Amino acid sequence: MSTLAQPQVGWKCAVCGERVSIGTPLSWRCPNSNEHDTHHVLQIEQPIAPLRSTGDDNPYIAFRKYLAWDAFAAALGMSDHARIALIREADAAVQRVAGTGFRVTPFARHDALSDALGFTAAGGVWVKDETRGVAGSHKSRHLFTEMLHLLAAEQTGTALWSTPNTRPPLAIASCGNAAFAASTLAKAMSWPIEVFVPENAAAELTDLLLSVGATIVRCPRLANDAPGDPCVHRFREAVANGAIPFGVQGTENAWCLDGGRTIGWEMADSMERVSGPPLDRVFMQVGGGAFAACGSAGLYAGGLRPKLHAVQTQGCAPLARAWQHATASGGGNNAGPRWSECMWPWENVESSLADGILDDETYDWIGVCNAMAESGGSPVVATEQHIVDAYALAHKVTTIDVSPTGTAGLAGLLAIRGEIANDERVVVVFSGVRRHFMPLPTAQ
């Protein structure tokens, strides 16, 4: 296979402006981030024009020349052949554990859902089905480029460890889809992983993590804890002691912001073969924010610019609050230097059926706000009734076995359906397969 030309690519902190070379191994965080100042996040600087897929069914091969990871591995001296082989070998290992490897996931207009919501034939709802992905959600998309980064560093002798037997543990703060995806990839690569979970984490979820060999660390809130999630506090302590951050928060490991873009690239590539006007809006659920930041970045790199609506629940909406403060203090775009006055942990998180997006802080809020500002979009705060209704509707008119968290984007669409013209083309992403212990909704 011929060598693919590498677009210029690098890292730049969206807060302090620090730049990091793409060839720097183990470059998780901005060099200026520390335990006293975590308000930094590296973001990818990379021109992509035009976006073209090679046609391979594996998105990491199909869009390889646009991945920051590929530029990193090339900078370490890995040949084109070696980089392709590493992706193929890692993907095969994942498939042996998960039952599926990384493949382009379905994306198409959903006629029944479009009809149910009153759209005309010219408009409608396009559904991106990430329940078909590795570990049943989009989370593995982010994590795979983190794993490829580690494997490339290990193979080229630029890691801090010398052999697979001396690998430090991976660490993640989560008790949902991200934790299961991370643990699945870790098992596939025979890499130890510690998962920091809430003190009262449900047995059904922890059993799922144990089934793929994760070490579970329960995290009660300590009297001297700062505001914020105690699981994140314990996770950061583990990283300070040598563990590798392996989650989906760009503030902790910027490499998660690389692979997540494949979701948007796939949608942009698919829409090139759809006649008619472009997409008008995209609704993406927001917990930590990497999903919406990456998905929209991928879409926009492909030449599409639908309005981004970032969806949160009424009982936990730190992003919507940050957007209000950002727009009032200089604009929603490039608000990174104003982090402290815009984003802080939500004080009283209320329970929700969509419990997977109850992050008290939207860690990747800067990328999401940039995308909303640049596309003319806005945050949407869905009521709990919208969350319930979206879950019920998805199971009534589709055959996608999606979780309540996975239909939160649809809840955002329901929340502002009255503002949307019937001939608009909108996107929702269903991500997070319904686990066997989740109740089926009652059809409305």
Average pLDDT over every residue of 335-349: 95
How far is Cα 262 from Cα 91, in angstroms, rounded to an integer? 15
pLDDT digits (tens, 9 = 90+) for 315-332: 999 999 999 999 999 999
At residue 410, does pLDDT exceed 90?
yes
Mean pLDDT, all residues of the chain: 94
Instruction: Work out the angle between the directed axes of helices 203-210 and 177-188 (0-180°, nearest 10).
Output: 10
How far is Cα 322 from Cα 236, in angstroms, rounded to an integer? 24
* CATH number, domain 10-99+139-256: 3.40.50.1100
pLDDT score, position 5: 47
Closest CA to 424 of 316, 288, 282, 312: 282
pLDDT score, position 2: 37
Torsion sign over Cα 8, 10, 14, 16? negative
At residue 288, does pLDDT exceed 90?
yes
Task: Calculate what percentage of the chain has a pLDDT beyond 70.
Answer: 97
pLDDT digits (tens, 9 = 90+) for 150-199: 999 999 999 999 899 999 999 999 888 999 999 999 999 999 999 999 99
At residue 444, does pLDDT exceed 70?
no
Q: Which two tokens stand for residue 51?
A: 């976006």
At residue 443, does pLDDT exceed 60?
no
How far is Cα 177 from Cα 406, in angstroms, rounded to an integer? 10
pLDDT digits (tens, 9 = 90+) for 366-402: 999 999 999 999 999 999 999 999 999 999 999 999 9
At residue 419, does pLDDT exceed 60?
yes
pLDDT score, position 49: 80
Scan for tokens 């998905």, then name that residue: 295
* Phi, then psi, of 37 in degrees rounded to 5: -145, 90
DSSP 8-class letter at 433: B
For the chain, give every domain's residue range: 10-99+139-256, 107-137+260-430
Q: Are the folds of 10-99+139-256 and 107-137+260-430 the same?
A: yes
pLDDT score, position 437: 67
Cite the DSSP H helix spans in 199-260.
203-210, 230-240, 256-259
At residue 416, does pLDDT exceed 70?
yes
pLDDT band at 1 (very low <50, low <70, confident <90, very high): very low
Instruction: Work out the angle between the directed axes of helices 68-75 and 139-155 (0-180°, nearest 10).
Output: 0
pLDDT digits (tens, 9 = 90+) for 41-100: 999 999 888 899 999 999 999 999 999 999 999 999 999 999 999 999 999 999 999 999
According to CATH, the topology of domain 107-137+260-430 is: Rossmann fold (3.40.50)
Closest CA to 200 of 156, 231, 157, 238: 231
DSSP state letters, 60-82: HHHTGGG-HHHHHHHHTT--HHH
pLDDT band at 116 (very low <50, low <70, confident <90, very high): very high
Residues 6+ apart with CB under 8 A from 11: 19, 20, 21, 22, 24, 27, 42, 43, 44, 45, 68, 254
